[in-house]
Amino acid sequence: MIDKVFNKSITKQFEFDEEVASVFDDMLNRSVPFYKEMQRLSINFACNFLNENDKVYDLGCSTASMLIELSHHCKNNLKLIGIDNSAAMLNRAAKKAKAFGVDIEFINADLHDVSYDEAKLILSNYTLQFIRPLQREKLVKKIYDSLQDKGIFIFSEKVISSNSTLNKQSIDEYYEFKKTQGYSEFEIAQKREALENVLIPYTEEENKKMILDAGFSHCETIFKWVNFATFIAIKK
Ligand SMILES: Nc1ncnc2c1ncn2[C@@H]1O[C@H](C[S@+](CC[C@H]([NH3+])C(=O)[O-])CC(=O)[O-])[C@@H](O)[C@H]1O
Ligand SMILES: O=C(O)C(=O)Cc1ccccc1
Closest CA to ligand 2's atom 7: 31
Question: What pLDDT, on a 0 to 100 scale, did the predictor assign at position 30?
Answer: 98
ipTM of the complex: 0.97
Pocket test for ligand 1, best of 3, 80, 84, 143 (most atoms within 8 A of CB): 84
What is the rounded CA–CA span in Å between residue 18 and residue 234?
35
Number of domains in the chain: 1
Q: How far, in Å, CA of 160 to CA of 89, rounded? A: 27
Helix, strand, coil: what percent of the chain each, to 5?
45, 25, 30
Residue 10: predicted pLDDT? 85
108 is in an annotated binding site: no
Q: Cα(137)–Cα(214) distance, rounded to whole angstroms?
A: 8
Distance 216 CA to ligand 2 centre (A): 28
Q: Which of 196, 199, 236, 194 is nearest to 219 (CA)?
A: 236
Residues 125-129, mean pLDDT to the nearest whole number: 98
Q: What is the pLDDT of residue 215?
A: 98
Question: Residue 71's domain is classified under what CATH number?
Answer: 3.40.50.150
Query: What is the rounded average pLDDT of the residues 97-116?
Result: 98
pLDDT of residue 90: 98
Please answer whether residues 121 and 151 qualify as being in contact, where contact means their C-beta atoms are separated by less than 8 angstroms. yes
Closest ligand to residue 30's CA: 2
Domain of 157, in residue numbers: 5-234
What pLDDT digit, counting tens, does each position of 36-93 carry? 999 999 999 999 999 999 999 999 999 999 999 999 999 999 999 999 999 999 999 9
Residues in the chain: 236
pLDDT at 93: 98
